[in-house]
A = this chain, B = another copy of it.
Amino acid sequence: MIKTAILGYGTVGSGVFEVIRKNKDVIRNKFAEGLEVKYVLDLRDFEDDPVSEVLVHDIDIIINDPEVAIVCETMGGVKPAYDFTRRALESGKSVCTSNKELVEKHGPELLQIAKAHNCSYLFEASVGGGIPIIRPLRTSLAQEEILSITGILNGTTNYILTKMETEGLAFDDVLKRAQEKGYAEKNPDADVLGYDACRKIAILTSLAYGRNVSYSDITTEGITNIKDIDFAYAKKLGATIKLFAKSVKKNDKYYAIVAPFIVSPENPLFSVNGVFNAILVNGNMGGETMYYGKGAGKLATASAVVSDVLDCARHIGKHLEVRWDADKLEISPIDGAVRRFFVRVSDTDETRIRSVFGDIDMVTGVADGECGFVTPEMTEKEYREKAGQYGNVIGMIRMD
């Protein structure tokens, strides 16, 4: 029987406890040795909860128990999760985590420590909740040169955009409803400004190329500037609007961006709605594969943590290699990225628009005194210059 300890009995931690207990027989069917939770660490007490039998308040009990082979770090935050993770790895215990912040900040270092101590540091649950994406990137796609990764990586913003589209509501109204339903935080900035998705695409891009991407190098725009009228334009284009977290390798350069994109039905991400997440990966041999599921939620996230625990349990005493060096992966300035742009202007002077933007596709009849159009392909820099030259721009959304 492989013994594990859970650090933190919050949403994810209690989910991990539940998955391992409820699916005991299922797990034993796939992993004959079986899996058991020996300790749960939390500062609080939980009377009348089955966890009370294994609850401890002192990390040292876990670190000093040689029977504990695997630790689930489900505390979140950097402090004290970082210290606890280090100590566990240094004593040869593998660590599985859902802690995106810690992974983004200290991933390469913690992987090094794991390697040095013949144990593993796995973090499937840190991106895409219950969607298998990190393991497929590491194993199923290891032979692929990754040409691009495009993710809908934040459930809150996808829920808001879906509601804006299907119910014709304004951003603020949907956000308020999402907050009431618990789909959005009281302080929604990390979600709606794109920071959460940015951290996740930084992790995925680091794993795709084996080098470290700093999230601060990634151009990040949220969805707060998306208006209900944008969906009317998108509909005229037969398209929708999604917050994409995207990285691309092109001519040996790497680009990354988090921003709203206009997405056509040909893209399999088009129909990913509500709180669901999905990641579309384009490899140079196998082409496009997509991974879809619940990007958050107690049991989905916990299930992903347990999948990592089982992977470690099958490889006791062995380091599961995750290539993610501390060397920086240079992200090229977004200025050089080439694409089409959907632009809204506060006039309808097609002749002048064409004289500045070239051979555009007009979108009219949505509102009086304005129009929209789709530019030909150009760099982000060219677009910005043309937009400055034209003036009158009241909105821009990138085209996928």
**Cβ of A238 under 8 Å from chain B:** no
Whole-angstrom distance between the Cβ of A264 and the nearest chain B Cβ:
12
Q: List, in ascending order, chain B residues with CB within 8 A of A271's CB.
A: 265, 268, 270-271
**Interface readout for A280-291 with B: 1 if CB under 8 Å, 0 if not?**
000111111111
The verdict on A303 contacting chain B, using a C-beta distance below 8 Å, is yes
23 A/B residue pairs, CB under 8 Å, sorted by A = A19-B143, A22-B285, A26-B143, A26-B144, A26-B145, A30-B143, A130-B287, A131-B289, A132-B132, A132-B136, A132-B139, A142-B307, A143-B307, A268-B276, A278-B290, A285-B299, A287-B294, A287-B300, A288-B294, A289-B293, A290-B293, A292-B292, A314-B321
Interface residues of A in 293-314 (CB under 8 A from B): 293-294, 297, 299-300, 302-304, 306-307, 309-311, 314
Is A124 an interface position by the 8 A CB rule? yes
Q: Which residue, A26, A27, A304, has most C-beta atoms of chain B within 10 A?
A: A26
- Residues from chain B with a CB closer than 8 A to the CB of A27 are 142-143
A82 at the interface (CB under 8 A from B): no
Residues of B within 8 A of A323 (CB): 29-30
Residue of B with least CB distance to A270: B271
Q: Give the contacting residue for A300; candidates B23, B124, B138, B286; CB below 8 A.
A: B286
- For the complex, give the distance between the alpha carbons of A199 and B113 in Å: 45
Instruction: Given contacts A30-B210, A132-B140, A287-B293, list 6 more A-B pairs with CB under 8 A.
Output: A30-B138, A31-B142, A135-B135, A136-B136, A288-B292, A314-B321
Instruction: Render A208-228 as a binary contact track against B, CB cut-off 8 A, 1 for contact.
Output: 001000000000000000000
Interface status of A110 (Cβ within 8 A of chain B): no
When the two chains form the complex, which single residue of B29, B139, B303 contacts A307, counting CB atoms closer than 8 Å? B139
Asked whether A141 lies within 8 Å of B307 as measured between CB atoms, the reply is yes
**Least distance between A280 CB and chain B CB atoms (Å):** 8
Task: Say whether, besides A139-B310, A141-B132, A321-B314, A304 and B292 are in contact (CB < 8 Å).
Answer: no
A294 closest partner in B (C-beta): B287
**Nearest CB in chain B: distance from A301 CB, A:** 8
- Least Cβ–Cβ distance between A127 and chain B, in angstroms: 13
B287 touches A290 (CB 8 A): no
CB contact under 8 A between A307 and B140, given known A210-B29, A271-B265, A294-B286: yes
